[in-house]
Structure 1
Amino acid sequence: MRFCVVFVSVISSCVCNEIGDFISPPTTVKATENNTVLLPCYLNTISNDEAYAVSIRWYKDDNLIADSSNETLTLPDRHFLWKNGSLEILSVQPEETGEYVCEIERSEPWGPVRQTHAIEVLHSPSVEPFPSNGFLQVKLGEEVRISCKAEGVPYPMITWTSKGEELKLIDHREILKFTASDRQMAGIYECTAANGVGEPAKASIELNVIYPPEMVTSRSWIHTAPGHRVQIDCRVSADPQATVTWLKGEIPVHLDSRVVTIVEGDKHALLIKNVQRSDFGIYTCRATNELGQGELAIQLSGVPNSGVFKHTEDKNQDAKNHYTLIWEVDSYTPIIEYSLWFRTYKGRLTHPPNWTKLTIPTEHSSGPVYSKSYTIKGLKERTVYEALLVSRNRYGWSKPSPILRFATAGAELNEDMISTVQVNVQENVFAYSSSSSSNYITIMYILIFLIKLFV
Structure 2
Amino acid sequence: IFFSVPPSIQILPPNGEVVTRKGGPVSFECKANGNPSPTVQWSKKDGLLPSGLQVETGYLLNLNEVQRQDAGVYQCTASNGIGQPVTGEIALHVLYPPEVSVLRSWVNSGEGLEAKLDCVVHADPPAEVMWYQDSFVLQPTDRRLMSKSGNTHTLAIRNVQLSDFGNYSCVVSNSIGKDKRYIELSGKPGPAKIISSQYSNPHEYDLKWVVQSVFPIIEVRVLYRRIMWHDLLVKPSQTYNSATSERSQRYRLTNLQADSVYECLVQTKNQHGYGELSDLHQWFTSPRGRTIAHNSSRGVLYSRKQFYNVLSQERAQRIELPDHNNFESISLSPTMSNKYIPNCKNNSIELFEREINEK
Residue of structure 2 in register with 1:396 after alignment: 273
Structure 1 position 290, deviation (Å): 1.5
Which amino acid is the alignment partner of residue 236 of structure 1?
V
Q: What's the CA shift string for 1:304-362, capped at 9, x where partnerless?
A: 1222335579xx97x32222323343333343322211224xxxxxxxx6633222233
Q: Across the two proteins, how many residue pairs are aligned to each other?
A: 309
Are 2:177 and 1:292 aligned? Answer: yes
In the TM superposition, 1:104-183 aligns within 5 A as: 122-163=4-45, 172-183=57-68
Counterpart selection for 1:324 from 196, 206, 209: 206
Q: Does structure 1 retain, via aligned residues, the 8 Å contact 2:43–2:55? A: no
Are 2:299 and 1:421 aligned? Answer: yes
Structure 1 position 371, deviation (Å): 5.1
Q: Secondary structure at the match of 1:227?
A: coil
Q: Does structure 1 retain, via aligned residues, the 8 Å contact 2:43–2:56? A: no
Which amino acid is the alignment partner of residue 394 of structure 1?
Q
Provide closer, same or farther for how the CA distance between residues 361 and 198 of structure 1 changes in structure 2, counting only shifts above 3 A.
closer
Are 2:251 and 1:251 aligned? Answer: no
Residue of structure 1 in register with 2:355 after alignment: none
Provide closer, same or farther for how the CA distance between residues 231 and 172 of structure 1 changes in structure 2, counting only shifts above 3 A.
closer
Provide closer, same or farther for how the CA distance between residues 375 and 185 of structure 1 changes in structure 2, counting only shifts above 3 A.
same
Provide closer, same or farther for how the CA distance between residues 225 and 216 of structure 1 changes in structure 2, counting only shifts above 3 A.
same
Counterpart selection for 2:2 from 17, 31, 42: 31
Residue of structure 2 in register with 1:203 after alignment: 88
Provide closer, same or farther for how the CA distance between residues 200 and 364 of structure 1 changes in structure 2, counting only shifts above 3 A.
closer
**Rounded Cα–Cα distance in structure 1 between residues aligned with 2:316 and 2:107:** 19
Counterpart selection for 1:385 from 253, 262, 266: 262
Q: Secondary structure at the match of 1:338?
A: strand
* TM-score, normalisation: structure 1: 0.59
Residue of structure 2 in register with 1:335 after alignment: 217
C-alpha root-mean-square deviation of aligned residues, in Å?
Answer: 3.8
Q: What's the CA shift string for 1:168-213, capped at 9, x where partnerless?
A: 6999532222224322222221112233443333211111222222
Structure 1 position 298, deviation (Å): 0.4
Q: What's the CA shift string for 1:70-118, capped at 9, x where partnerless?
A: xxxxxxxxxxxxxxxxxxxxxxxxxxxxxxxxxxxxxxxxxxxxxxxxx
Choose between structure 1 and 2 for higher RCO, CA contacts under 8 A separated by at least 6 residues. 2
Q: Does structure 1 retain, via aligned residues, the 8 Å contact 2:280–2:304? A: no
Structure 1 position 132, deviation (Å): 0.7
Provide closer, same or farther for how the CA distance between residues 366 and 204 of structure 1 changes in structure 2, counting only shifts above 3 A.
closer
In the TM superposition, 1:415-454 aligns within 5 A as: 421=299, 423=301, 440-441=314-315
Residue of structure 2 in register with 1:6 after alignment: none
Provide closer, same or farther for how the CA distance between residues 224 and 123 of structure 1 changes in structure 2, counting only shifts above 3 A.
same
For structure 2, list consecutive stretches of 5 or more residues without a partner in the other structure: 323-359
Counterpart selection for 2:186 from 295, 301, 307: 301
Which amino acid is the alignment partner of residue 29 of structure 2?
S
Which amino acid is the alignment partner of residue 217 of structure 1?
V
Provide closer, same or farther for how the CA distance between residues 209 and 171 of structure 1 changes in structure 2, counting only shifts above 3 A.
closer
**Rounded Cα–Cα distance in structure 1 between residues aligned with 2:64 and 2:291:** 51
Which amino acid is the alignment partner of residue 361 of structure 1?
K
In the TM superposition, 1:41-80 aligns within 5 A as: none
Residue of structure 1 in register with 2:165 after alignment: 280
Which amino acid is the alignment partner of residue 143 of structure 2?
R
**Rounded Cα–Cα distance in structure 2 between residues aligned with 1:265 and 1:430:** 38
Radius of gyration: which is bigger?
1
For structure 1, list consecutive stretches of 5 or more residues without a partner in the other structure: 1-29, 33-121, 345-352, 432-437, 449-455
Q: Secondary structure at the match of 2:163?
A: helix
**Rounded Cα–Cα distance in structure 1 between residues aligned with 2:146 and 2:277:** 32
Q: Does structure 1 retain, via aligned residues, the 8 Å contact 2:197–2:298? A: no
Which amino acid is the alignment partner of residue 73 of structure 2?
I
**Rounded Cα–Cα distance in structure 2 between residues aligned with 1:251 and 1:233:** 18
